[in-house]
Amino acid sequence: MTDFYETLAARIDARFGAQIERFASRCGELTYEVPRENLVEVATALRDELGFEQLVDLCGVDYLTYGTDEWMTESATERGFSRGVQRDSVIMDESDTFDPRRFAVVYHLLSLKHNARLRLRVFTGSDNPPVVDSVVDIWNSANWFEREAFDLYGILFDGHPDLRRILTDYGFIGYPFRKDFPLIGTVEVRYDPEKGRVAYQPVSIEPRTLVPKVIRDDNRYRPELKDRPHG
């Protein structure tokens, strides 16, 4: 981490204190975790007081299998990802709860004024469905990003003006980016000439593992490229 970012981190720590917690980042990003009850207050202050006027990206994360053996290597294998095999889709009952640190929402912020980037992470807790506050009123660009996270992970954003699916079909069941959703899906679409319309049927393809595992550091994070002085 450069002196510039350490100075910025000191300002953030002084402003928010125990409201947020700093976490180490493998790729050297300045990363903080904020409790979901503090999200709106912290996000507003980051925009108004610290100059993070732009939300570059927002994404959901499912930590269901994080840290398992399939991620414990940086070498390649011809056998491919173990997630490529058949897994049962889990449709949870509304009374079930999640591991409090299973689902998270990650916010990537940019300060044009200071040429600085910041990452926030908020865990959704054990609620089913998972839910956090919307930040559309703080950064308008969050509108479609939050719809995408809802569509793919089933995360609700309280206060969103129009929370509906954005990538999948209106009748789609389940959330395809959850780790317990089968990679081959659950249904397929075909044209039914007798009915004269598109029809759904159970998926018929066979699950196969085709993707070799190669985990490597992105060269964009090489120190000589990313740790340049800020003008």
Domain annotation covers residue 109? yes
Which pLDDT band holds residue 8 (cuts at 50, 70, 90)? very high
Domain annotation covers residue 231? no
Angle value at C-alpha 171, between 189 and 123, nearest 5 degrees: 120
Domain annotation covers residue 31? yes
186 phi/psi in degrees, rounded to 5: -120, -25
Rounded (10°) angle between helices 39-48 and 3-16: 130
pLDDT > 70 in the chain, percent: 77
Number of H helices, E strands in the chain: 4, 9
Buried b (16+ CB within 10 A) or exposed e, 179-206: eebbebeeeeeeeeeeeeeeeeeeeeee
Amino acid at residue number 129 = P
Judged against a pLDDT cut of 90, whether residue 138 lies above it is answered with: yes
Decide: helix, strand or coil at residue 18.
helix
Per-residue model confidence as pLDDT tens digits over 117-137: 999 999 999 999 999 999 999
The lowest-confidence range among 65-69, 94-98, 143-147, 181-185 is 65-69
Distance CA 185, CA 181 (A): 7
Report the CATH number that the domain containing residue 37 is assigned in CATH: 3.30.460.80
- Which domain covers residue 18, as residue numbers? 3-226
Q: Which pLDDT does position 86 carry in this prediction?
A: 46
Distance CA 136, CA 116 (A): 21
Number of domains the chain is built from? 1
Decide: helix, strand or coil at residue 39.
helix
Amino acid at residue number 83 = R
Whose CA is closest to 108, among 120, 98, 100? 120
Distance CA 157, CA 163 (A): 8
Q: Residue range 68-81: average pLDDT?
A: 56
119 phi/psi in degrees, rounded to 5: -120, 130
Domain annotation covers residue 47? yes
